Amino acid sequence: MADTSTSDVNVAAAPATAEPAAKPSGASAGRPGRVPTVIVDDVHIIYKIYGAGAGRGSATSALSRIVKRKASPALSEVHAVKGISFTAYKGEAIGLIGSNGSGKSTTLSAVAGLLPTASGSIYTDGQPSLLGVNAAMMNDLTGERNVVLGCLAMGMSHAEVREKYQGIVDFSGINERGDFISLPMRTYSSGMAARLRFSIAAAKTHDVLLIDEALATGDTAFQKRSEDRIRELRKEAGTVFLVSHNNNSIRDTCDRTIWLESGVINADGPTDEIVKMYEDYMKGRK
């Protein structure tokens, strides 16, 4: 596994074609004293997509195709991630940047264990937790019940939930203009719901926290609180991944950035250098 530490910029001009490297293990991987938390080794992810014709017809005709082992003529594949490799270490905050469709969210979902890989391997030390703006919450339950259930689902005890409850509500800021925490989630705006999701997830120290565009919601004050909380999570020995189209959030939050484009890693290194490379690239496309 190649060393992807923040002291060097690792630039890839084309998709990797080399054989998978040996898997690092323990603190000996990378540089001395650095403990890997996530290893992504030559990972490919392929989506199977059913076109306009694939959904037509009755359930009976679909069952008939399955029994006869016939593939749908409208089935196509999208090679979303193409042989990427990197190692993340304890205490790092890593930004993932790239244009739309570059594979950022797909990579996070795979690290979280929500998407299978077509080939390659992903190793994690501890349980990754994915926080996205579409994270599941129960719309018919109140914000209060969602806070309790969300915390219990993350493994907190009832005593820990009681201890952290008010801090979660205050952090989210959703009660600043009324008692919204007592209302069903379906009455929340998308921004309010996203802020509450982040506040619940950030209440626990995670081994690996994966954040997908969560900082794009809320006002400047909430974004500042979110960035401060991510720094605290890093100090508490967690590893944070942040996908965002807001380059300022990446600069303020992450010390290392991986630039994905068309499913491959274009560059991996210190945030200021990588973000500038990406911004120059985007200017050249206009």
**What does residue 95 show for φ and ψ, rounded to 5 degrees?**
-90, 145
Q: How confident is the model at residue 60 (pLDDT cuts 50, 70, 90)?
A: low
Which CATH number does 10-127+206-285 carry? Answer: 3.40.50.300
Helix (H/G/I), strand (E/B), else coil: 203: coil
* Lowest mean pLDDT segment, chosen from 28-32, 77-81, 153-157, 178-182: 28-32
Comparing CA positions, the residue from 271, 246, 241, 266 lying closest to residue 111 is 241
Instruction: Report d(CA 254, CA 256) in Å as an integer.
Output: 6
Look up the pTM and report it.
0.74
* Burial (CB count <10 Å: 0-12, 13-18, 19+), residue 182: exposed
- Residue 17: its pLDDT value, please? 33
- Residue 169: its pLDDT value, please? 95
Report pLDDT digits (tens) over 193-247. 888 988 998 898 888 989 887 666 677 888 888 888 888 887 776 899 999 888 9
Contact 121, 41 (CB under 8 A): yes
